[in-house]
Amino acid sequence: MASGPTKEMLAELASRPGRDTIVSTFIKAVFIGLSLLFLAALLFAPLVTVFVTALEKGYEMYFESFRDSDTIAAIRLTLITAAIVVPVNTVFGIAAAWAIGKFEFRGKSMLITLIDLPIAVSPVISGLIYVLLFGAQGWFGIWLQEHDISIIYALPGIVLATMFVTFPYVARELIPLMQQLGNDEEEAAITMGAGGLMTFFHVTLPKIRWGLVYGVILCNARAMGEFGAVSVVSGHIRGMTTTMPLHVEILYNEYNFVGAFAVASLLTLLAVVTLIVKTLVEWRTGYTRTK
């Protein structure tokens, strides 16, 4: 998060001679007004709607929504998927950040671009590629059928598609951070005889831990909330292969608005918690993210 004007800047602004303050105040009011109006219409109103609609028929109906067995199954599938995807992508993110952040080698910027690729690709394509590989008419479709392995319309497909979509998040947080922090302390540790793992856990990890926390939390939020990619590979089998966002869609299309928005409210809370963690991390480290 970018920091706002400092006290000194504001004091300096106020003391400037020659500013026609009426016009300044007017412009300021217009800018703040436009900003708030735009955000209110596009962001705040929809967020409030989620909770208002979820609680429309009272708290009892709201909590009743979570007793539905398909909803429980959807929550469980989402948790399982995130429990597989997030640790794997975290290990990848740390490995990639170590290789890219600590060493100079040829093709480094190419590697960074390729790691960012899933962010530029449509979520629908993220699902489509796995269908083309493992679907019934895909490259490995017949072989998989003969061996009675299902990937598409089953958990492995959902995990793969989610992994693709959330692949860059931990790496993206850690690479600039590691580059910025430099190698001096690690080199000192190695020179004094520490092993590679010891150096990582005792020297590097404490320096990057807040960036890592945010990367993991963001990766988790995206993993639990992914819709497009998972939608393509899931097959929408109710209570079996529907994650929470897909279950929101099913309930919504059945005009069960309380149920749909109740599940949506959980996902919204997840996003709110993610933003709180992000703000705390930035407040804690005081570093501005370099994007």
- Residues 176-215 touching another protein, rule: CB under 8 A, are 183, 186-187, 190-191, 195-196, 199-200
Among 248, 258, 262, 281, binds another protein (CB under 8 A): 248
Which residues between 45 and 64 bind another protein (CB under 8 A)? 45-47, 49-50, 53
Would you count residue 16 as binding another protein (CB under 8 A)?
A: yes
Min dist. Cβ of residue 13 to another protein (A):
9
Instruction: Give the number of other Cβ atoms within 10 Å of residue 152's Cβ.
Output: 25
Pick out residues in 25-44 that bind another protein (CB under 8 A).
28, 31-32, 34-36, 38-39, 41-44
Closest CA to 181 of 201, 158, 164, 206: 206
User: How many residues in the shown chain lie near another protein by CB under 8 A?
Assistant: 108
Chain mean position to CA 58: 31
Distance separating alpha carbons of residues 135 and 128, to the nearest angstrom: 9
Structure tokens at 118: 């899933």
Contacts of 196 (CB under 8 A, 6+ apart): 190
156 within 8 A of 81, measured Cβ to Cβ: no
156 binds another protein (CB under 8 A): no
Q: At which residue do the structure tokens 């490259």 appear? A: 139
Q: Which of 15, 22, 23, 67 binds another protein (CB under 8 A)?
A: 23
Cα angle value 260/262/265 (rounded, 5°): 110
Measured in whole angstroms, how far is the alpha carbon of residue 26 from the centre of its chain? 38
Token couple for 284: 């804690």
Single-letter amino acid code for the residue at 134 = F
Residue matched to tokens 């993206």:
172
Exactly one of 224, 258, 262, 281 binds another protein (CB under 8 A); which one? 224
CB of 69 to another protein, least distance (A): 21
Which of 77, 81, 82, 130 touches another protein by CB under 8 A?
A: 130
Name the minimum Å distance from CB 238 to another protein.
Answer: 16
Identify which of residues 81 and 199 has a Cβ nearer to another protein in the complex.
199
Residue 47's CB is within 10 A of a number of other CB atoms, namely 13
Establish if 287 lies at the interface with another protein (CB under 8 A).
no
- Contact residue for another protein among 144, 208, 267, 281 (CB under 8 A): 267
3-state secondary structure of 147: coil
Terminal Cα distance for the chain, rounded: 11
We find the least distance from the C-beta atom of residue 28 to another protein, in angstroms, to be 6
The smaller minimum CB distance to another protein, of residues 33 and 58, is found at 33
DSSP state of 104: -
Single out the residue of 84, 99, 154, 240 in contact with another protein (rule: CB under 8 A): 99
Q: Is 77 in the site for another protein (CB under 8 A)?
A: no
Q: Looking at 80, 213, 252, 285, which residue binds another protein (CB under 8 A)?
A: 252
Pick from 74, 77, 129, 208 the residue near another protein by CB under 8 A: 129
